Amino acid sequence: MQVIERVTELTATLEARRASGVAVGLVPTMGALHDGHASLIERAAAECELVCVSIFVNPLQFGSLDEVGRYPRDLASDLVVAEKAGAGVIFAPPVEEMYPQMPAVGVHVAGGLGATLEGASRPGHLDGVATVVAKLLAMAGACRAYFGEKDYQQLLVVRRVVVDLSFPVTVVACPTVRAIDGVAESSRNRLLSRSEREAAPVLCRALRAGAAAILAGESERSEVVALMTAIIEAEPLVELDYAEVVDAASLRVPERLEGALRLLVAARVGATRLIDNVGLAG
């Protein structure tokens, strides 16, 4: 496995491999790799001859430098996880390589997609994600790019980046990997204390209860939201940010609970913000 820090080297390496007929898979991550990331890398390795995993904690998508500093990092262990899952190239650039100067130009996520849910709770976050993804896709060139449904709104944003900015990239969505107690695997889970980790399954429990209520015939969105809210608010260590049911394609609040839906929650568990979601097919 080759570890690359420079953009020119990354671009040249992937370009040369593509020229010899190799299909490239790209798995963008912020590191602190876990089973969720491994599942993306394994899927990419099953579908592409060369898998590049990028590891970059993108300061543009955080609210403060404090938050960036708190984000877990463990490059040594990441290299082991990535190689075992089938990565051939790791792209781990220093911040100055990705942002040699403070960017004057970036990608803005407009409309409902940018304004709702994570867009409403974390101003600038989705723009920061869209900008770094656009940069990574520009550096990587034609590829299949693998993203997790765990970050559902991000996945929709990435799809729009590819379509709206015409990248020669196929986006592949991968299902959320969960621990046995239902908690979605996340790098941020490393920041939880033991009691916080024990409280964390409430997010998934609320989502599953909401989905079960809809499947059992509940047709009032507000009732489903109230049910998920009550379940999460009953857990003292958890502070709810939002619980919502939306149209899976547009993220708009549906007039009637029909068609493909997505249930999403965001909450603080102690000082750590976690998100999760589940889907209901139409």
Q: What are the angstrom distances between the C-alpha of 230 and each of 171, 210, 223, 236? A: 36, 11, 10, 12
Residue 128, interface with ligand AMP (CB under 6 A)? no
Strand spans (E) along 101-230: 143-148, 169-174
Determine the residue type at 75. Answer: L
**Which 3 state secondary structure label does DSSP give 46?**
helix
List the one residue from 118, 127, 151, 235 that touches ligand AMP (CB under 6 A). 151
Q: Which of positions 33-92 make contact with ligand AMP (CB under 6 A)?
A: 36-37, 39-40
Tokens in use for 65?
């430098």
Stretch that binds ligand AMP, among 78-86, 109-117, 181-189, 197-205 (CB under 6 A): 181-189
List the one residue from 150, 197, 205, 262 that touches ligand AMP (CB under 6 A). 150
CB of 50 to ligand AMP, least distance (A): 18
**Residues 6 or more apart in contact with residue 151 via CB below 8 angstroms:** 275
Q: What are the angstrom distances between the C-alpha of 240 and each of 61, 206, 212, 229? A: 21, 11, 20, 7
Residue 184, interface with ligand AMP (CB under 6 A)? yes
Residue 153, interface with ligand AMP (CB under 6 A)? no
Q: Is 37 a catalytic residue?
A: yes
Q: Which of positions 16-35 make contact with ligand AMP (CB under 6 A)?
A: 29-30
Residue 118 backbone phi and psi in degrees, to 5: -60, -35
Of residues 44 and 228, the one with the C-beta less far from ligand AMP: 44
CB atoms within 10 A of CB 226: 13
CB of 6 to ligand AMP, least distance (A): 21
Q: Which of the residues are catalytic?
A: 37
Give the residues lining the site for ligand AMP (CB under 6 A).
Answer: 29-30, 36-37, 39-40, 147-148, 150-151, 174, 176-177, 184-187
